[in-house]
Amino acid sequence: MQRYFIEMAYDGTNYHGWQVQPNAISVQELMNDALGKIFRQPKETTYIVGAGRTDTGVHSDYFVAHFDLPEAIAEEDIEHILFKFNAILPPDISVYSMQSVDEKLHARFSATSRTYHYRISLRKIPSLRLSHFTPYFTPDFDKMNEAAKVMMEYTDFTSFARLHADTKTNDCFVTKAEWKEIEPGIWIFEISANRFLRNMVRAVVGTLLEVGRGKMTIEQFRGIIEAKDRCRAGMSAEARGLSLVGIDYPEGRGFVRTV
């Protein structure tokens, strides 16, 4: 058995997240279907494992997944397989690379960190409508940055977790949380951690925006984290502004980031 990692990206607008859903179309479902067609195996026996579960409408500029094959593929055949992937998949899903890796390397459980961007446009720009959120006010980004720094003092983020989720722990080690203007009127919130809870980033952004419009103080933001109560935090920010942009893995296990 040979394990392969792939690097890919997708626009989540038309999908109910990454994970297979019983009555809705997902990115994983289409990837499983493509695998079955490429390797001529029944759909039930081809299964791809993703680095995480993105919510409905959330994008991924960079995503990693793995699958296993009974036998190794010749190196010279990989480019042709990538061509097949992209010919079968719709235009809003793309596969960039395919690499053989150590069989113990797991796309989800071996990841050491993940990075998300939440994108905001202060002006209504039609071409960005599916990838950026436009607030109806101008946030105080300095205040939001002060509040964001508070997150790195804590590990329990129950207040930003989806209620009734099946996680065993709500602990996350946040290593970066920062708003920055990448061009006039276009801002991103960059947040990195070893793991994220379901809906966590959108809940964090929604709450930080409350700080940014003067409805919440930095100490109140701190109090929300300490309360460990989702009902105390703000509304989740819209999905369209969120994108997974980075995933890191241990070195020396066969996987090298190429994009």
Show Cβ contacts of residue 142 under 8 Å, excluding neighbours closer than 6 positions: none
Q: What single DSSP character describes residue 150?
A: H
**Token pair of 209, please?**
């925006």
Tell me the Ramachandran region of residue 193: left when phi exceeds 0, alpha when psi lies from -120 to 50, beta otherwise.
beta
85 φ, ψ to 5°?
-50, -55
Strand ranges for the chain from DSSP E: 2-10, 49-50, 59-69, 93-101, 113-121, 174-183, 186-193, 242-248
Stated length of the chain: 259
d(CA 81, CA 75): 10
| Residues with catalytic function | 55
Sign of dihedral through CA atoms 202, 205, 209, 215? Answer: positive
Q: What single DSSP character describes residue 72?
A: P
